[in-house]
Chain A
Amino acid sequence: MEREVVFRTRGLTKVYSMGEVQVHALRGIDLELYAGELVVLLGASGSGKSTLVNILGGLDTATAGEVFYRDMNLTQAGDRELTDYRRRHVGFVFQFYNLIPSLTALENVAIVTEIAQNPITPEQALDLVDLSDRKDSFPAQLSGGQQQRVAIARAIAKQPGVLLCDEPTGALDSKTGVIVLEALERVNRELGTTTVIITHNAVQAEMADRIIYLSDGRVIDVRVNEHKKSARMLTW
């Protein structure tokens, strides 16, 4: 059976200037991501994982190459189209949560549902990550894991086409990290959202449908995970 392709990239290249240094973050990436799958992007820091995800999510643009979201050519989209694309199709979870400090958990979710086309309610979203009881807390009153789960609720509340998570457990201890991963797993399973998780932690790859290995801006291996584990079983 031909699986539905969500993302397709061809020769994706990205060069940055960090201060006075030129960094080649991506050196020609070719890959496909399929509907409903949970993919883990594995690689050391500096391998280009975040850059790839940012470009997939329309947060950044490529220097060369092409990237398609379904039929939409993201490489040719301007700021307005990318904004619209993010608004309608993409949910983000960042390593440092990036919650708005002046808004409560519920309001941090509402800020996204208010501009989405077909959202679930903020309450439902918080329920999905088991945080209904903390909905009126401000980010500063929540632990790191709780903040990250608010961020996940915020990302999935709009029912995005893809959920992109950049080191979602990077700032968390392993026990809390597992709870966050469980939340992601549940969303992927229950909502069927295509989910991309970036990590440099090989253990986490065991919960993926597919694992994509990146190194030095290139895809060095793509592996289908035959023995997918539940997030609860992971320890590191």
Chain B
Amino acid sequence: MRALDRKMLRDLWGMRGQALAIVFVILSGVATYVSMTSVMDSLQQTLSNYYEEYRFADGFATVRRAPELLLERIREIPGIGTVETRVVSRVNLKIEGFGEPVSGTLVSVPEGDQPVLNRIFIREGRLVQPGRENEVVLNEPFAEAHGLKPGDSITAIMNGRYRELSIVGIGLSPEFLMQVDPASIFPDPMRYGVMWMGRSSLEAAYDMDGAFNDITFTLAPGAGIDDVIDRIDQILRPYGGQGAFGREDQQSHFFITEEFRQLERTATILPLIFLGVAAFLLNIVISRLISLQREQIAVLKAFGYRTFDVGVHYGKLVLIIVITGAAAGTLLGFWLGVQLGDLYLRYYRFPYLEFVLEPPVMITAAALTIGAALIGVAQAVRRAVKLPPAEAMRPAPPAVYRVTLVERLGIQRFFSQPSRMIMRDLERRPLKALLTILGISSACAILIMGLFFSDSFDYVIRVQFGLAQREDVTITFTDPTSTAAIYELKSLPGVIHAEPFRTVPTELRHGHLSFQTGIEGIPQDPYLRRLIDIDLKPVSIPPEGLLITERLARILDVGPGDEVIVEVQEGRRYTKSVPVAGIIRQFVGVAAYMDMDAANRLAGLGQAISGAFLMIDRTFEQEITDSLTERPRVAGIAFQDRMIGAFRDTIAQTMLTYTLILSLFAGVITFGVVYNSARIMLSERDRELASLRVLGFTKGEVRYILLGQLAVMILLSIPLGLVLGAIASAGFARSLQTDMYQLPFILGKGTLVQASLIVLGASAASAMLVSMRLNRLDLIGVLKTRE
């Protein structure tokens, strides 16, 4: 081995503490980036394969009741591929040992065979067999939530009659990746589930012999969806067609794409910022570390080593550190990615996850870290050789110190000599101090970016469920129902207050922009479901016109006073121009509200209600549940607190796992940076500090000079880091807006304190390690070598 390589290895060993800290910084950046990016790639890959393999339909349509004969006409539509008719129905369920209301959707499948489209992945058991009544296959999350297995049975209230359904299989379908009750916003497998049942059993139960109420279809290659939808609507309209729609508007697909879009931003932007910060810190640390070797570089140069050779020498040293960090980070990232993938599988319900680690991901991570490190080497070496070797080997000229601002102001008598040394050193090399401060504050900033999510989520829950949606229970009816139903609900024991609502299925259009959503009609002066403006003040409902959420206003590009075209997709279908009366704030979901009477006039079906919001006495919860479950018109019963619980369990939990990982790594990065900064400061000033010790300064006084300077920089870094973190988080939150939720940017005091404490903790630990070194300072050795 060449002597120069030996020097490199021994130098590496000599600075193993710092090298290890740098390895951790890189490891954290790379692991975050690799795990999150590869999980995202894996999910997307899996989704597209799953859709293809299990033949997820391109379009869907529901109809009240249409004869099977119509199928031939639909098949003749130009541009249509495969068509399958089905019977689909909402049911209320009773599950042994679970006292709360459970609702479900029954989807018909051919007996003894897979459906042509939206095939079912059977995890356990089998498909339904011909000739056996009331067999069902359960969607896996639902079955899991209740611990149901093939062989068990559940009770369904189908068309007002109790039926015992026997479970023969547990499965999954691309159609119900996200199994969300239409009355709710979040998946809640305890209270809502999808089941597949034989077509003839369902036909018999719902009086659908020779008829269907749902179709799914694919498109012929190259065909456009819009024409096909128009033709299907024409054919189905006389039979109560409720408007065909494409995959984009299919609930599960819509949710999953929205989620993936958000996830993609979280999983690419944030880790990339992480990686960038790690690379930046790496660059600073490496370049300062090499600057310390100025004399040795000069010696090498004096003996005829070329600048390039010196660069290669240090490049090798740094590459060993960086490649170790990047490789370990990739491995850890891969492992973490697989764990995160499992977490997502519990949520997204693919039959399997094809975990992929794309070479470009690894290449990006390696290139960024190695690049940043080598640039650091090049900068430092170039700086070191700028001086002629003779000068570099000579003791550095007395540095140019000036009296500081503080002293010019004449308040220096308040500061001791050591304090003045600290101030002068900071003022003398402001750029170096600035870079250190910038490094520590960017570590602090990424901490904030990891931590702010929980503040935002808490705020959403507080505002949306505390101020705006104050109901305990939401009841939805199968069809628009007489307003008299509200009195019936109010008369139930335990119901304190009941407030009706009317949902009119519509498509809203403005120019070429459109959005499919129900218009929620709510009564004047609501007590439970209140609308709030951007200042969180309740908004009164105008007698005419729409109140729309901020997000919808942006989607349709409208503001108060603009007219939108409303296409009513219920009863007699027609379009009407309706003005936008105002904009409201709502974080979850996209919605349009209007006065309930106005909504009823719009629908044209007279005074009707689609459901009600209830405030109840909790002690009557069970009675209310029991009596409502048995009513055939009640399609869904949703408890608000359980919805919030489901929200916390699903979205919040995944997000928080994410952010936990981020904060952990941010903490490691913070420590790595602070520790390295402190060590480098010590190396740069060890001679000066040893001289002071020789002159009679105590260890404590010397420690004060070194650590005091570090403390000043850290105290400057924290506020800067908090500000940087807030700016970056705000921008990040903005980029996360989806149709499903609009995450507001909220930064709690607790988070600021937490981030500051992590930085302070990392600093304290570094300070302790450095002061142990300071105690071992070899006074004579340091002094006798030079000067």
Contacts and interface: CB of A to CB of B under 8 A. Distances in A.
Interface of A: 18-20, 50-51, 54, 57, 59-61, 79-80, 83-88, 90, 92, 94, 96, 98, 100, 102-103, 107-108, 110-112, 114-116, 154
Nearest to A154: B303
* Residue from B399, B400, B785 with most neighbouring chain A CB atoms (10 Å): B785
Interface stretch (B3-11, B268-276, B649-657): B3-11
B307 A108 contact: no
Interface string B391-429: 101000111100000000000000000000000000000
Nearest to A106: B3
Given A54-B390, A84-B304, A102-B14, A19 B399 contact: yes
A207 B292 CA distance: 39
B193 interface: no
Contacts of B397: 18-19
A19 B388 CA distance: 16
B299 interface: yes
Given A59-B388, A59-B390, A83 B6 contact: no
Given A19-B399, A107-B3, A59 B296 contact: no
A154 B786 CA distance: 20
By DSSP majority rule, is chain B's interface helix, strand, loop, or mixed? helix
B389 interface: yes
B390 A114 contact: no
B620 interface: no
A103 B10 contact: yes
Contacts of A90: 304
Given A18-B397, A86-B302, 15 more contacts: A19-B397, A19-B400, A59-B388, A84-B304, A86-B301, A86-B303, A88-B304, A92-B302, A94-B393, A98-B302, A100-B7, A111-B300, A114-B2, A115-B303, A154-B303
A102 B306 contact: no
Given A59-B389, A96-B786, A115-B305, A103 B295 contact: no
Given A83-B301, A115-B305, A102 B10 contact: yes
Interface in B436-489: none
Given A94-B393, A102-B14, A114 B307 contact: no
Contacts of A98: 295, 298-299, 302, 393
Contacts of B786: 96
17 contacts: A18-B397, A20-B400, A51-B390, A59-B302, A59-B388, A59-B390, A59-B393, A83-B306, A86-B303, A100-B7, A100-B296, A103-B10, A107-B3, A111-B3, A111-B300, A111-B303, A112-B304
A108 B299 CA distance: 11
A183 to B, nearest CB: 18
Given A60-B390, A98-B295, A98-B299, A83 B305 contact: yes
A35 to B, nearest CB: 21
Contacts, number: 86
Nearest to B387: A60
Interface in B1-25: 2-4, 6-7, 10-11, 14
A102 B7 contact: yes
Nearest to B295: A98
Contacts of B306: 80, 83
A20 B399 CA distance: 9
A137 to B, nearest CB: 14
A115 B302 CA distance: 12
Contacts of B14: 102
Contact of B6 (A50, A94, A107): A107
B4 A114 contact: yes
A107 B391 CA distance: 25
A108 B6 CA distance: 10
A153 B655 CA distance: 65
Contacts of A57: 302, 390
B307 A103 contact: no
A111 B7 contact: yes
A229 B2 CA distance: 41
A19 B395 CA distance: 12
A15 to B, nearest CB: 13
Contacts of B398: 18-19
Contacts of A51: 390
B310 to A, nearest CB: 10
A185 B447 CA distance: 65
Contacts of A86: 301-304
A163 to B, nearest CB: 13
A112 B309 CA distance: 13
A114 B399 CA distance: 36
A83 to B, nearest CB: 5
B493 to A, nearest CB: 86
Interface in B738-768: none
Interface in B258-317: 295-296, 298-307, 309
A135 to B, nearest CB: 12
Interface in B142-189: none
Nearest to A112: B303
Contacts of B393: 59, 94, 98
